[in-house]
Structure 1
Amino acid sequence: MSLILDNIDLVVGGATHIEGVNLELKPGSFNVLLGRTLAGKTTLMRLMAGLDTPTRGRVLMEGRDVTGVSVRHRNVSMVYQQFINYPGLSVYDNIASPLRLAKVERAEIDRRVRETAELLHIEHLLERSPLELSGGQQQRTAMGRALVKDADVILFDEPLVNLDYKLREELREELRTLFDERRCIAVYATTEPAEALALGGNTAVLHEGRLLQYGRTEDVYHRPVSRSSAEMFSEPPINMIRGLISGDEISFDRRAAFPLSDDLRSLPPGEYHFGVRPSHISLQPRADDDLAVEVSVELAEISGSETFLHVANDLFAMVVHLSGVHEFDVDQRITIHFPIHKVYAFDRHGDVVHVPSHLGGL
């Protein structure tokens, strides 16, 4: 069963929430909606589910126009950020509830509930109340209710955001495994580029209600079509440096000039924005074409086992993503190295005009 959004707009009270979205989701596909808060992820899911009706455009399921069809008459399920379960019912009865509403036979209900519970590793919790469960177990119960009814489309609206890191990793891995053998369409909303990469499948990058790019997750990450798409699919956001190509040189702020590398020689003379991912910058040279730049440390932000180093000089400010815990003093002078062969180039309209020749890694 395919799901198509055909030139969808949603305008509420004069404000445009979704604009000109065209998207086709194929049977058996796992699709990530990636975007910042208020990008339109939840709104798009509500349109897919039939909870809202678009102002313009059509929603097609298996070629049938279901734009005006309510959620009751669409075979869809939804899992939310909050652990939404019926507190007065057992885990078994929570998972069974959509099947009972559909008047499925008792034996079939029992088979499917136990099968789903086993898939989610909560078969030993079926007689408990949701109030007796941990956060991860409560969300597994909510997911079980969505999975048990064999919906054509299952929508996950940031379902793991309220769980701790270890649980999120565990459930994320299980989600992908669960859908590998299903023919339904899975749609998963997240604000985190790292989560989109971990989930794989396909990714749709959203910004302010517009679809910037859609395709295989790795392709969208490595080959952004625009500056906006590159910035959305990078955490921290991709570093942007304004530069000028003239002759055999590339200069920044018309002052510091460097020889033009072979990787960028195909670009005609002119002004560009050059993008380099924070994780591609290092404190030691890694390749022959690494550009060494002196900077001052503005902030060293340690998060878990990673360090986000905010640096600047007279020409630009950048963020460097380092593995491990590194300590620096404010205003400390250091040299950073970024590889020219991993630099993106965008024209003045924000369209990508050069994709790096070496695309491996994050």
Structure 2
Amino acid sequence: MTIQLSNVSLRTDKGQVLSDINLTFESGSINILLGMRGIASGKTSLLRVIAGLEMSHTGSVLFDKVDITKLSVQMRNVAFVHQQFINYTHLTVRENIGSPLYVAKLSATDVKSKVDAIAKQLNIDGCLERFPSELSGGQLQRTALARALVKDARVILLDEPLLNLDYKLREALRYEIRDLLKKTGTIAVYATNDPNEALALGGKVFLLDEGKLIQEGEVSNVYREPVNIKAARILNDPEINLFKGLINENEVVFGSELYFPKSSRFSKLRKGQYTFGIKPSHLSLLPSHDDDFEFSMHVELAEISGAETFLHIANRHLNFLVHLPGVHAYKIDAPIKIYLPILKMFVFDETKHAIMFPINVSLPA
């Protein structure tokens, strides 16, 4: 089976939420809709159009080349998992999971068999006779996921299903969901604003920004080579450091006073203004190469989060966020030297399109 969206646009009372979307989801694939945190990207609206909960104003939705644009949600055989734990409070876990099967008029024997099987897969087989009020957050979300998967839908849509869970549980469940979706063989479309979640799930990623599709491809490829500044920002959490610079005949200039010899890496770039980018985790307290840029800065804020430290540092010309492994104690206004490895820099031209990417960058663990 394939799903194809052709020139799909959607307008609501809030304005244009989807603009001329063209994409295809292949049979048995995991597809990630990734948008930037805090900005309306159109992820949920796109899921709702696929499900039939919203009707696009222009364009068409095709399942296996059949136009189902005007088909009701009941006729599409689509499962939808929401970010809220939507379970029926007056029903047991078993009854919650089996509810779509009773609607489909399956026999009690078939319902029991299917519910038992999916509950075992999701490690909630010991909770089947409990009520939702007796479950943990992870068990509630597993129940909602089981109810969606048990109906053998052709398509499963997941709208930030792990958003309301704590970090450790999110991390564990994302791998469980990935493995389970691979086993089902259905088309899965998963919306998130967490690039690390997208990388963990794998598959194909579709970057959405203000209702527009700006890039698509295998998630590892898109992560390494974002097409422009917006894509680079969507793909990085914490957000990528961006700063202006001027490339001259023999120098690279940041601000009005920070002059560096022009590296051979920039030899093919014409003279002019560029935007440079560096991931917070690629800034270092020690040089790794003779060509590394060295900046003298001061600490504006030091945040310790578990076994990681985030430093907000600045000088008269630049502001950086630095992501360091381990716990590091710094006083406010303390001087600090930071090294920017040239081989790990992005370069964007005046149109904000990427023209240079980091070399030999591994994916986050």
- Using the size of structure 1 for normalisation, the TM-score is 0.96
Match of 1:19? Answer: 19
- d(CA) in 2 for partners of 1:241, 1:187: 34
- Residues 173-213 of structure 1 deviation map (CA, whole Å, 9 limit, x = unaligned): 11111122222111112121222222222221111111121
- Residues 258-296 of structure 1 deviation map (CA, whole Å, 9 limit, x = unaligned): 122222222222211011111100111223332211111
- What secondary structure sits across from 1:181 in the alignment? helix
Deviation of residue 14 (structure 1)?
6.8
- Residues 217-266 of structure 1 deviation map (CA, whole Å, 9 limit, x = unaligned): 11111100011100111112111111111213211124322122222222
The reply on whether 1:45 has 2:65 as its aligned counterpart is no
Report the AA paired with residue 179 of structure 1. L
- d(CA) in 2 for partners of 1:179, 1:218: 19
Alignment map for 1:125-136 (pairs within 5 Å): 125-136=127-138
Alignment map for 1:5-154 (pairs within 5 Å): 5-13=5-13, 15-35=15-35, 36-37=37-38, 38-154=40-156
- What secondary structure sits across from 1:214 in the alignment? strand
Q: Pick the aligned partner of 1:300 from 299, 302, 318.
A: 302
- Check the 8 A contact 1:94/1:141 in 2, yes or no: yes
Deviates more, 1:217-226 or 1:96-105: 96-105
1:147–1:328 CA distance, 2 compared to 1 (3 A)? same
- d(CA) in 1 for partners of 2:66, 2:311: 51
- d(CA) in 1 for partners of 2:126, 2:264: 61
**How many residues align structurally?**
362
- Residues 35-58 of structure 1 deviation map (CA, whole Å, 9 limit, x = unaligned): 123211111111111100111111
Match of 1:282? Answer: 284
- Check the 8 A contact 2:7/2:59 in 1, yes or no: yes
Report the AA paired with residue 243 of structure 2. I
Deviation of residue 4 (structure 1)?
1.4
Q: Pick the aligned partner of 1:343 from 342, 345, 350.
A: 345
Deviates more, 1:217-226 or 1:281-290: 281-290
Match of 2:332? Answer: 330
Deviation of residue 345 (structure 1)?
0.8
- Residues 56-90 of structure 1 deviation map (CA, whole Å, 9 limit, x = unaligned): 11111111111111111111111111111111111
Match of 2:2? Answer: 2
Match of 2:185? Answer: 183
- d(CA) in 2 for partners of 1:133, 1:351: 48
Alignment map for 1:159-198 (pairs within 5 Å): 159-198=161-200
Match of 1:200? Answer: 202
Match of 1:221? Answer: 223
1:361–1:106 CA distance, 2 compared to 1 (3 A)? closer
Unaligned 5+ segments in structure 2 are none
- Residues 319-352 of structure 1 deviation map (CA, whole Å, 9 limit, x = unaligned): 1111122111111110001110111111111111
- d(CA) in 2 for partners of 1:266, 1:151: 52
- d(CA) in 2 for partners of 1:59, 1:26: 14
Report the AA paired with residue 64 of structure 1. V
- d(CA) in 2 for partners of 1:357, 1:135: 41
- Check the 8 A contact 1:263/1:356 in 2, yes or no: no
Deviation of residue 106 (structure 1)?
2.7
Match of 2:213? Answer: 211
- What secondary structure sits across from 2:275 in the alignment? strand
- Check the 8 A contact 1:83/1:139 in 2, yes or no: yes
Deviation of residue 132 (structure 1)?
1.3
Deviation of residue 360 (structure 1)?
2.4
- d(CA) in 2 for partners of 1:263, 1:199: 34
- d(CA) in 1 for partners of 2:7, 2:308: 41
- What secondary structure sits across from 1:97 in the alignment? helix
- What secondary structure sits across from 2:17 in the alignment? strand
Identity %: 48
Report the AA paired with residue 47 of structure 2. M
- d(CA) in 1 for partners of 2:362, 2:248: 29
- Check the 8 A contact 2:220/2:363 in 1, yes or no: no
Deviation of residue 152 (structure 1)?
1.3
- Check the 8 A contact 2:159/2:190 in 1, yes or no: yes
